[in-house]
Amino acid sequence: MKISWINIGSIEQSEFEKWFDQMSDKRKKEVASMKVEQKKKLRIAADALCRKTISDYCGIAPEEITFGYSEKGKPFAKDLPVHFSISHSGDYAVCAVSENEIGIDIEKIRPVNQRVADKFATEKEKEYILSSSNGFFEIWTLKEAYFKCIGTGLGKNIKDVSFEISDGIISCSKSGYEFFFNPINDNYICSICKKKAAHF
């Protein structure tokens, strides 16, 4: 498994132009139609970051990697024996690459209306959220990472999975997956969900 991240605040404009050129035509169109400059930069940086991380992991040139998308939007690298996941928030883009299915989610910590937790958290998770300063984003990103790992994305299924966090140990209601927090920056929470390898 390899996790990488990038802070777009420290990147020169010329780098973004170089990275833009290596994106697929579909991706270029998507980015060109975006109105918010920050979001454009995040998408371009995320594309370049994934190319570089997969390139390092598989020993293939970044520009030779072709991305595809499942029906539900989960990205994959065509013809390569790896899985990967992307997330972006604030100034950061993150990428996780693994030989097994993987999901990553990053969120910039910001003020939230705790009532939003009613929509996604179980009673036990809500207790944790109220008792822990970053509990809201820990539970939220763990759920996003899980649903990105299994490839469904988020929706009404959000309470199908639940978490307990105690002394930094993450327990999940679903077996067969490992979860980690990736400490990148004090202002962000980043969670990773990785499917465990099958043992025969």
Residues at the contact surface with ligand COA, assessed by CB under 6 A: 43, 46, 72-75, 85-88, 105, 144, 148, 151-155, 158
Token pair 């209601």 is found at 173
Quote the tokens at residue 173.
């209601």
Q: How far is the CB of 200 from ligand COA (least distance, A)?
A: 27
By beta-carbon proximity to ligand COA, the closer residue of 39 and 131 is 39
By beta-carbon proximity to ligand COA, the closer residue of 105 and 135 is 105
- Residue pair 65/54 in contact (Cβ under 8 Å)? The answer is yes
Other C-beta atoms lying within 10 Å of the C-beta of residue 88: 23
By beta-carbon proximity to ligand COA, the closer residue of 46 and 169 is 46
Distances (CA, A) of 157 to 67, 117, 122, 167: 27, 15, 12, 27
Q: How far is the CB of 116 from ligand COA (least distance, A)?
A: 10
CA distance 144 to 173: 14
Q: How far is the CB of 113 from ligand COA (least distance, A)?
A: 15
Q: How far is the CB of 99 from ligand COA (least distance, A)?
A: 17
Q: How far is the CB of 2 from ligand COA (least distance, A)?
A: 17
Say how many residues make up the chain. Answer: 200
Other C-beta atoms lying within 10 Å of the C-beta of residue 52: 16
- Residue pair 97/84 in contact (Cβ under 8 Å)? The answer is yes
By beta-carbon proximity to ligand COA, the closer residue of 55 and 85 is 85
Token pair 């004090």 is found at 186
Q: How far is the CB of 156 from ligand COA (least distance, A)?
A: 8
Handedness of CA 149, 105, 12, 69 (dihedral sign): positive
By beta-carbon proximity to ligand COA, the closer residue of 104 and 128 is 104
By beta-carbon proximity to ligand COA, the closer residue of 138 and 144 is 144
